[in-house]
A and B are shown apart, each in its own frame.
Chain A
């Protein structure tokens, strides 16, 4: 056997160093961004404490009046930063969006993976992927111009009529901008990625297993429900977590169709909302005029909470995936 030359050994060392650096960049970025946002939030954490998470009012205070000092932090008089409506807005709009997007995506993916073949399939697939490439501001515009009036005139009254016995679903559709509109726009933005991923997953289900189900006299739906979906469950959970994270972080579209709800929790599906991301974008300008900088720090803490929430959802998804693959592995070992 040929002994490894010095040159190839050096090359290998270089390769390891570079690969190690590349592999650690995601972690590095995550840590750096997290630390920066955390440090930036400290003044507000001291000023507001837990009330940041539980307060309902967000008021930059009288920026041209007196300053007050609390816990060693100076702030404009009357300033208070209660992020609960935005946390709720973020969670409500993204969860609702996922509740709409998951069934739609799974059904579309099933059709793309199993029902259509040849050119129809490629055209459909391309359309879905094109949808994924539309900038969010276009979705926002569409939500304002098309979806808003439709909610006011058709969807809102219909929901009131059919599901109005549920308090959360009863109420005036207002301007058509709000929680429902945000959820629909977010769903539309998540559907393409979720559909494409689910389709790829479903195509990986060995035909052998599907035929096993068909041969046993299962209907198409039973084959999908009992064989295909369980088979792709792990991947699906991952895709849903990614899509959810995206929906929570989406800024522009929600800013346009959320109705800029402030200082109140949404009490119906039609209430105006703001999400953490949209508030950051929306408020940054006025926050910069705060001489104490506390308003900017408050937005930083909002970013921190958003990051933590996204991480938690991803982590939960990971645990779910690990648990299901662990039971499978344990079974194999036994």
Chain B
């Protein structure tokens, strides 16, 4: 089941360069929340703070509070946080030395699932959810790098789903893909929201409009506007949001 995320006054730095200037927002459970905004405004930094990935970059520093349900993410063990908040990256990054099967199974193995048949079942289920099973079921033990870019990205989604997180963070998951693969990923996002809380970063406003229940507009490390997707796109409250969605800048 999905869980909600409460973000309070989140600030982030790279060295001395502040990239998030106090973000507060409530990300509802079992909904798709889109983050839009011009390049460099801090969208990636924001979602990387949600699963505590930002602090692993050299010089990365975070202040503020993130709550997952009732638990304070920054008081939990960072490794545990990332097991309940999964992530899909902008560029497909299946582990290059592992097979398709092992890419999905590795999270299960490391999580302590020893039983082979249970493992296989979960791998199949994850690959089906990621709409990849039919394409790879005959070559599960081939290296993952042999897949096309779109397939690799769906494999990464399956990999993230296999460990059954509550939240799925997606950083422009379709930006490197062709329109058909993009459409499949979007379908996938819509089908997943029953069971997951999804936060998706996107440059593509049509995409946000198609998949997201709520949309947040970021600018220069600040949250300018956050609301229901339809109202944000049809009746933006802030001039800067309006300028951005009508294409006057960004």
Contacts and interface: CB of A to CB of B under 8 A. Distances in A.
Interface of A: 117, 206, 208-209, 211-219, 222, 226-227, 230-231, 233, 327-328, 331-334
Given A212-B95, A214-B53, A216-B82, A331 B143 contact: yes
A222 B146 contact: no
Contacts of B180: none
Given A209-B93, A230-B97, A216 B146 contact: no
B20 to A, nearest CB: 18
27 contacts: A208-B89, A209-B93, A209-B96, A211-B56, A211-B93, A212-B89, A212-B159, A214-B53, A215-B51, A215-B82, A215-B160, A216-B83, A216-B86, A216-B107, A217-B79, A217-B82, A217-B83, A217-B163, A218-B110, A226-B95, A226-B106, A226-B110, A227-B97, A231-B97, A233-B97, A327-B143, A331-B145
Interface residues of B, number: 34
B232 interface: no
A231 B94 CA distance: 12
Scoring A216, A219, A334 by chain B CB atoms within 10 A of each residue's CB, the highest score goes to A216
B198 interface: no
A247 B48 CA distance: 46
Contacts of A327: 143
A216 B89 contact: no
Given A209-B96, A222-B110, A332 B89 contact: no
Given A217-B79, A217-B163, A334-B142, 15 more contacts: A212-B89, A216-B82, A216-B87, A217-B80, A217-B110, A218-B110, A226-B110, A227-B95, A231-B97, A233-B97, A328-B145, A331-B142, A331-B145, A331-B146, A332-B145
Interface string B125-140: 0000000000000010
Contacts of A216: 82-83, 86-87, 106-107, 159-160, 163
B156 interface: yes
- The A interface is mostly helix, strand or loop, or mixed, namely helix
A206 B83 CA distance: 22
Contacts, number: 78
Contacts of B145: 328, 331-332
Interface of B: 51, 53, 56, 58-59, 79-83, 86-87, 89, 91, 93-99, 106-107, 110-111, 139, 142-143, 145-146, 156, 159-160, 163
B199 to A, nearest CB: 13
B53 A211 contact: yes
Contacts of B79: 217-219
Contact of B143 (A212, A233, A328): A328
Contacts of B160: 215-216
A215 B84 CA distance: 10
A104 B73 CA distance: 35
A233 B51 CA distance: 30
Given A211-B89, A212-B156, A231-B97, A217 B107 contact: yes
Contacts of B94: 212
B58 A117 contact: yes
B38 to A, nearest CB: 23
Nearest to B88: A215
Contacts of A226: 95, 106, 110
B178 to A, nearest CB: 20
Scoring A212, A215, A222 by chain B CB atoms within 10 A of each residue's CB, the highest score goes to A215
